[in-house]
Structure 1
Amino acid sequence: MIMRIVSGGQTGVDRAALDAALAGGVPCGGWCPSGRAAEDGPIPERYPLQEMADGGYASRTKKNVRTSDATAILYFGELSGGTQLTVFFCIQERKPYKLIDGKEIPPERAAVLLAEFCREHAVQTFNVAGPRASTDARAYPYAYEVISAFLQHQPTAHPAICPGTPPGVV
């Protein structure tokens, strides 16, 4: 059962995952770069992210991979930039990950695939990553639809504080 959705707060897939979790009443959070940096300025405070003392996007990505049980990587046809780096960190940290090509997989099917993946790997803390909004305009709407549908496939009990969450991380 998913207890928490994690992302880095960037525009696009990251924010869509956080918005879907917030709308569904599912605990969410994760690590964001120093200064709450994102391509559109500081990440709004409504997103319950822990700011890293130092480090940029790559450091944040690695920490979110490391502190999650598994990662969903949504993309559109080709992996690039930070999305590709997320795959590298998943391999480096030996963390399971699921690639979802939004160009090929409809949102409802993607949600089912993610639910099956999470059951198979007993995922409780699920990192969600993918392109920022400026890289692909489909990133936010697709990810929001996928994660919203995915959360509907989960049991309904979501405690306010998740077991195993490090102190200071919401």
Structure 2
Amino acid sequence: MIKLKKILSGGQTGADQGALSACLLRGFPYGGWIPKGRRSEKGKVPAKYRALKEHRSRHYPPRTERNVKISDCTVIFTYGKPDGGSLLTIDFARKHGKPCLQADLNRPRDQVVSQIVRWLKRVRPRRGILNVAGSRRSKAPGIHLAVRRAMGDVLKQAAPL
């Protein structure tokens, strides 16, 4: 079992909302900072993700850095190599000395889930707070569902902290 207390996310379409959906489906605690005005590439972050807090900035980088900073570690979901906001998330993790794992969804889901679980057992998030980030829907169609399923499988193996 892995010890997790909460999942954080920046609320963007795609990977972020996929992780949040997994939390809602499993009744798992979640939170995180989103841009002011609930801004996302599709308009507004859906109201169903009500535990998210609005940052004072409407730009993406400040909420990204805040989520990295207040979490114990970060998983970044992409198809292939990270780019854009995913690279920025990696940079913030390095800046703040936080463990960061890139999970390539081109691999079979069971391998991705196993990789994440092994990594979490190794890094042992002290407070049990995992930040989940990754590609937005417009850059990676289908990533919401892939992350929802993968994170659902990860959360099945999580024990409360």
User: Under TM normalisation by the shorter chain, which class is it?
Assistant: over 0.9
Per-residue deviation, residues 40-77 of structure 1 (Å, max 9, x unmatched): 11112221101012241011110000010000011111
**Structure 1 stretches of at least 4 aligned residues deviating more than 3 Å after TM superposition:** none
The answer to whether residue 142 in structure 2 is matched with residue 138 in structure 1 is yes
The answer to whether residue 29 in structure 2 is matched with residue 27 in structure 1 is yes
Task: State whether residues 73 and 130 of structure 2, in contact with CA within 8 Å, keep that contact through their aligned partners in structure 1.
Answer: yes
1:15-164 matches, within 5 Å, as: 15-47=17-49, 48-103=51-106, 105-123=107-125, 124-155=128-159, 157=160
Give the AA of the match of 1:70.
C
Report % sequence identity: 33
Where do 5+ consecutive residues of structure 2 fail to align?
Answer: none
| Structure 2 counterpart SS, 1:77 | coil
Q: Which moved more, 1:36-45 or 1:63-72?
A: 36-45
CA distance in 2, matches of 1:111, 1:152: 11
Q: With structure 1 as the length reference, what TM-score do the two structures score?
A: 0.88
Task: State whether residues 39 and 58 of structure 2, in contact with CA within 8 Å, keep that contact through their aligned partners in structure 1.
Answer: no
Where do 5+ consecutive residues of structure 1 fail to align?
Answer: 159-170
Alignment-derived partner of residue 4 in structure 1: 6
Alignment-derived partner of residue 167 in structure 1: none
Task: State whether residues 37 and 58 of structure 2, in contact with CA within 8 Å, keep that contact through their aligned partners in structure 1.
Answer: no
Shift of 1:149: 0.6
Q: With structure 2 as the length reference, what TM-score do the two structures score?
A: 0.92
Give the AA of the match of 1:132.
R
CA distance in 1, matches of 2:97, 2:23: 25
CA distance in 1, matches of 2:12, 2:58: 15
Per-residue deviation, residues 84-141 of structure 1 (Å, max 9, x unmatched): 11111111111001111111x2112211211121121222000011000001103112
CA distance in 2, matches of 1:39, 1:55: 12
Question: Higher strand share goes to which structure?
Answer: 2
